[in-house]
Amino acid sequence: MPVPLHRRLAALLRPAADDAPIVAAARGLTIVDVVRRFWPRLRPLRGWLVVGAVLLAVVPAISVVEIVLFGHLVDVVLVPADLGPLAWIALAYLGLNLLSGLASGADDYLSTWISQRFLVGLRRDTFAHVLAQPAAAHDRRRLGDTLTRLTSDIAAVESFMVGQLSAAVSAVLRLACYLAALCWLAFNLTLAALVVVPAFWWVATRFARLTRDVSRERRRRGGSLTAVTEENLANAALVQTYGREDEAVAAYHRHNRAIADAELAGSRVRSLFLPMVDLLELAGVLLVVLLGVWALSNGDLTLGGLLAFLTLLLQCYRPVRELADLVPALFSATAGVERVCELLDEPVAADRPGATPLPTTAAPAAVALRAVAVTYPGATAPALDGLDLDVAPGERVALVGPSGSGKSTVARLLTRQLDADAGRVLLDGHDVADHTRASVRAAVTVVHQEQLLLDTTVREAIALGRPDATDAEVEAAARAADVHDVVVRLPDGYATRVGQRGRTLSGGQRQRLAVARALLTDARVLVLDEPTTGLDEAATHRLLDAVLAGPRDRTVVVLTHDPAVMARADRVVDLTAAAPVRQPVPA
């Protein structure tokens, strides 16, 4: 016995073991759910939507008049061979054609303007929402898949809310105009022509679920392909160093083949759906022709009236077919909408209600952690468990301990990239959880172990935290971080672009540039995560002179394994002795 189509497609769409979804799909969104979710974004444009609906109604109304006028042309000009009425009919056609062109052009421009207003706002807000999510959310999500959601999947939301729904309104308005004209010309023939409409709808809804499943899988696999591409190209040097080019190409090819399989599955659905629609349309036309010839022989209908009716009928089936096609198209768009909703449903790191800015002062801040406990999502043991720590204003403290002892977690706590599950993090006695993240991050700056640089000029990279800094201030920070001499040797000095992630610079140069950026912010607390990584002995001592031996105008916390740093610190705190730590920080 042959296997049903839906079972064959289900087997095709079942992901392989190494191709599991990056994020579990948000299943079960209905068309009503999507409209309810995103309609508030269109509500401010509802006046223009009404204008667009009017323009959508004008065009089919003009088309109906032109078709009826054609029937009149047949009856009063062609059949009697009388050219007398031809002049005014031609003028009427010219006027209608000009009016239709103006209405179509205005509708096209207005619909494009509405869709772009919606799309630009949604992209901005979704990007801002993702950027505001806590570090743990970014740690567990693949960047390439997120990029796909922020681009093509957001475009699917616009297609659903503006493109597809506008097409549905247009089809309904055209169908209403054509049906009114058909009923006026021949009511009995109209009833006969509508016999096939329920069959249209049944076929459309029958294939809608299959189309939705295929589209969801195609978009998921597209996100996986982008993730694989981004990861391998971003780490091209690593791939080449260990000779993994063949494996990278194989993974890329595997995901491409998966997308091709999903596309073929969609093609199989369409290859069954479209011929069935064509067959139903043909059956309706043949039925009307049969009954129309009977009416023509009985004198109930003129030749012009019959030709006008058939022309209108063909025009009428077009919006019916479009509505039938829109059902699977809308379900197809929901696949992308679901992926965007997953991003928007991810909670952001929001300030508590009533949170206030930290008091502003230029004095170095005291840092204290009181019985702090942190467990990362999905971890089986805490990263920090009851940690107590005190750092006096202006003190230089080195936090040491093996990898996974919680050093980077302390940095995240001080900048509120995450909040403690228990305990308190204090700056000058103020619990940072009670204050805005922006004010906490203005008071505490971090130089990460991974040198994070945007693709900007050297000057802009150093002035990231203080865009209004003068050239002299930027240069002073570069000198303090021992990177000025490196910068002046670059092709364009401080105007040289550092490249994506600073790849035109060496690791040590990127590290010193990041230190210069932190020094320029003039924060009250400076956290350095392994600041001497990639530096030779001489550069290490110059950097430590700048951040540890200078004026006590800031509190400095250094996360390190380097004995040279420990020797220059006022105090060394071993986190393994301060609190039992077991769980490593997620990569």
Q: Name the pairing type of β-strands 367-374 and 430-431.
A: unpaired
85 in Cβ contact with 76 (< 8 Å):
yes
Neighbours of 339 (CB within 10 A): 28
pLDDT of residue 356: 86
| Tokens 């991974």 found at | 450
- Reference 186, options 339, 71, 43, 18; nearest CA is 71
| Contact indicator for 510, 448 with CB cutoff of 8 Å | no
For 361-418, write each residue's pLDDT tens digit.
878 888 898 988 888 877 778 888 888 888 889 888 888 888 777 788 888 888 888 8
What global pTM score does this model have? 0.63
Distance CA 21, CA 480 (A): 47
CA distance 316 to 379: 60
> What pLDDT sits at residue 1?
46
CA-to-CA distance for 198 and 206, rounded, in angstroms? 12
Helices then strands (H, E): number in the chain? Answer: 22, 9
Following DSSP, what letter does each residue of 381-431 receive, concatenated? Answer: S-SEEEEEEEE-TT-EEEEE-STTSSHHHHHHHHTTSS--SEEEEEETTEE
Give the residue carrying structure tokens 């930027």: 474
Candidates 35, 14, 575; CA nearest to 341 is 35
Secondary structure element (H or E) that encloses residue 93, with its range: helix 86-131
Give the per-residue pLDDT at 212.
Answer: 62
**Token pair in block for residue 437:** 């993240």
- 431 vs 420: CA distance, rounded Å: 11
Determine whether 298 is exposed, middle or buried from the number of CB atoms within 10 Å of its CB (0-12, 13-18, 19+).
Answer: exposed
pLDDT of residue 297: 64
Beta-bridge mates of residue 396: 556
Domain ranges of the chain: 30-345, 367-578
Query: What is the rounded CA–CA span in Å between residue 204 and residue 330?
Result: 11
Whole-angstrom CA distances from 548 to 273, 394, 519, 554, 556 are 72, 10, 12, 10, 7
**C-alpha to C-alpha distance for 23 and 32, rounded to whole angstroms:** 24
267 class by beta-carbon count within 10 Å (0-12 exposed, 13-18 middle, 19+ buried): exposed
CA distances from 335 to 152, 215, 326, 332 (A): 11, 6, 14, 6
| Residue type at position 207 | F
Question: DSSP letter string over 218-263?
Answer: HHHHHHHHHHHHHHHHHTHHHHHHTT-HHHHHHHHHHHHHHHHHHH
Nearest Cα to Cα of residue 361 among 537, 524, 206 = 524
Residue indicated by tokens 């004198």: 299
Determine the pLDDT at residue 11.
Answer: 46
Report the CATH fold assignment for 367-578.
Rossmann fold (3.40.50)
Q: H or E stretch including 367?
A: strand 367-374
pLDDT in tens, the chain (587 residues): 444 444 444 444 444 434 433 333 344 567 777 878 888 888 888 888 888 888 877 877 777 777 777 666 766 666 666 666 777 777 877 887 888 788 888 888 888 888 888 888 888 888 888 887 776 677 677 777 777 788 778 887 877 777 777 777 777 887 777 777 777 777 667 666 666 667 666 666 666 666 666 666 666 676 677 777 767 776 676 676 667 778 878 887 887 787 777 777 767 666 666 676 667 666 666 666 666 666 666 666 666 666 776 777 677 767 766 776 676 666 667 767 878 888 888 877 777 888 888 888 878 888 898 988 888 877 778 888 888 888 889 888 888 888 777 788 888 888 888 888 888 998 888 888 888 888 888 888 888 777 777 778 888 888 888 888 888 888 888 888 778 888 888 888 888 887 776 677 777 778 788 888 888 887 888 888 888 776 778 777 877 877 777 677 888 888 888 888 888 888 888 887 654 333 333 33
Q: What is the pLDDT of residues 436-460, one digit of tens each?
A: 888 888 888 888 777 777 778 888 8
Please name which of 564, 579, 574, 549 lies closest in space to residue 396, comparing C-alpha atoms. 549
Radius of gyration in angstroms for the set of CA atoms belonging to the chain, rounded to a whole number? 34
Cβ-in-10-Å burial (0-12, 13-18, 19+) of 17 comes to: exposed
Contact call for residues 448 and 529 (beta carbons, < 8 A): yes
Provide CB contacts within 8 A for 387, sequence distance 6+: 369, 371, 372, 373, 406, 410, 423, 575, 578, 579, 581
Q: Are 15 and 261 in contact (CB under 8 A)?
A: no
> In the prediction, which pLDDT does 218 show?
67
The answer to whether the CB of 214 falls within 8 A of the CB of 14 is no
- Give the bridge partners for 527, in sequence order: 446, 557
CA-based nearest residue to 561, from 572, 552, 546: 572
Amino acid at 478: A
Amino acid, single-letter form, for residue 165: L
The answer to whether domain 30-345 has CATH 1.20.1560.10 is: yes
Q: Burial letters for 83-105: b for 16+ Cβ neighbours within 10 Å, e otherwise?
A: eeeeeeeeeeeeebeeebeebee
